[in-house]
Each structure stands twice: as structure tokens, then as C-alpha cells.
Amino acid sequence: MQFRALSICIALAALLALGGCALMPEESHDHSFSELREIRKSDFPKYLSGITYAGDNLYYAVADREGKMYPLTIKLKYSGAPTKPHFKESVTLEGARDLEAIAWDPLKKTVWAADEADASIREFDPTTGRRLGNLDLPQVFRKFRPNLAFEALAISPDGLELWTANEEALSCDGATANSEGGSLVRLCRFRRVDANDPWKIDGMWAYETDPTDGKSYKGFLASGVSGLMVAPDGAVYALEREFSQTLLPGFRARIYKLDLSTAEKITETPFCAKKPERTVGKELVFGKATGIAMYEDCCFGPKLKDGRLVVLCSDGDDRVAHAFLYLSTP
């Protein structure tokens, strides 16, 4: 999702606000993920909107313009603390336009990337950028709203599950989020038995995003799923990204652990015709008001001395909002 004009407006508002105090009320910090470090650098690549972990110190990030993917490394110091990202030369992914999410395939050593321009998910060679294949998605996703399609994508560490979700409701499934209620999106799981087996859809569930804490700012308001990640134990986590105005306009990032145990499986029937009764359960594990930093994706990294690294990348569509946020699991 692109907010170039907004990032400039928010930055100007921040300069006028009590000497640069927080743009939004702070979230409670009594959650199970703890913040390690936030790094903001104007020389990071522009428009980073998705990130995935490929083992050792290697990650891949994508940008929502120019179809670019960036290999990068995040090393751990002797103390165990993660260092700032080091970017390598970009790779152009064949035919890509608006890349919003990326997932490393540990069985095939390829990457899968979500393109919001046409609501597609495609496989690429990470070295050459050559397009290798497509994910066969349910037809209902053709009802996506512009700029609100797939921003979330993750593959499990064993390589046998792929998860995705649309950012906010399809046009046939209801309204987008506001201060009165969240937005119903479709969480999808694909499975395969090995690297040679094609992905097959194995379930679809309704997930409700949070209502916004604030009101619209200059016509912009958002509360959607912008990232997914799968832990080594198979637990699935969703990153919700909100933009609204409370005291001042700004972004929020919230990470939820998902619970499908009581959620009903859904079909391609539009929610406007049959609204799901039992949606995906979610437990808040991290929340932060992030000001002008628009954290769009997240991934699990390597084990730390205590817990596991979680990496978030920000696309604020402006150099002052280029940022990485490091968290630690319990």
C-alpha cells in the first residue's frame, strides 16, 4: 500500500507536535514479543514492503515499485544482538509490478511473491529473477479492491504449508475497516506433500481485522492484514497495519497469534450472501504506535540466546520512514 503524500503530511505534523512527541497514543507493552531495536536509515532501499528469512544470515525483501527484490543479511553479534541490515544488489523479478510480500521456499530454494497490481502470487528464481510459476488461487479473489489485495504471504519452515490473506475485504465480502468495525478478510492455507507436488488449497477461514482507533485523515483510513509468518512449531501469526488519526495521524503495528481451532471453514460464497459465524481467533503478542513508519511485513529469523528474532520492515514511501524493527519471542 502506498502512502507517499501522507508520509510527508505526517512528518510535517510531527514537527509541530509538542517538540516531536509520539504521533499516536502508545500501545500497552505487556505482550509476549519484546522490542529489541528499531533502525531508521535514509539510505535503505526505497519502498520495502515484504521480507522473508532464507536461513543463516540471509533474507530477501521486495519493493512495491519497479518489481525489485533485495537480498540482505542481518548478522548476530557475539552478544547475540542483531546488527543493521546490509543490502546486496537488487534483482528484478520478471513481470512484477507492485510487490507486497515474499516467502522463501525451503524445499525448492526459490521465492514466492505477491503482486498487488493483479492479485497474483508467483514463484521466482532468487538469483536471476526468472518467473517459474503461479499459485492457483480461488476465483473469489478476483473481487479484490484496488490496493487492498495480497500483502501477506508465508511458507512454513518445513516447506509444506503456504499461507496468504487479502489485506481488507473483497468487494463481495463487505466494507473496509473504520472506527466502528474491522474488515472481514480470507485467510488461506495451501499444502503439498513434497517439493514436486503442486500447492493445493487446504482451507479458507474468515479473519476480522481490528477497528481503527481513530478517524480518517485526508480521506485515508486503513486496518488490514499486511503480513503473515509461521513459527517453527507451526503457529501462524498475522501483522495488522493501521493508519488513522487520533491525536495526530500515524500508523500502528500489531502482531497476533492465530487460533483456528473454533473457526469455521468457508467456501467462495460471498460474505454479503452468507456471513461467517465463527472467525479466526487471535491473541495480541505485540503492539506499537509507529508514527510515520509503515511496517508492512514481518518474518521469523534465527534463534537468539533467549527466544527467536522477529524482523519487521517499513515502507513509509519517504526516506525518513525507512526502518527495520527487531523483536524477540519469549
3-state DSSP assignment of residue 141: helix
Q: Domains in the chain: how many in total?
A: 1
Residues of the domain holding 71: 4-328
In tens, the pLDDT along 80-101 reads 899 999 999 999 999 999 999 9
Residue 189 bridge partners (DSSP) = 163, 203
Of residues 15 and 214, the one with the higher pLDDT is 214
Of residues 204 and 40, the one with the higher pLDDT is 204
CA distance 189 to 260: 11
Q: What global pTM score does this model have? A: 0.93
CA distance 142 to 236: 25
Residue 168 exposed, middle or buried by CB count within 10 Å (0-12, 13-18, 19+):
buried
In tens, the pLDDT along 18-30 reads 333 444 555 555 5
Burial call 120-144: b when 16+ CB within 10 Å, e when fewer = bbbbbbbeebeeeeebebeebbebb
Q: Which CATH number fits the domain that encloses residue 43?
A: 2.115.10
CA distance 303 to 58: 14
In tens, the pLDDT along 301-316 reads 999 999 999 999 998 6
* 10 phi, psi to nearest 5 deg: -65, -40
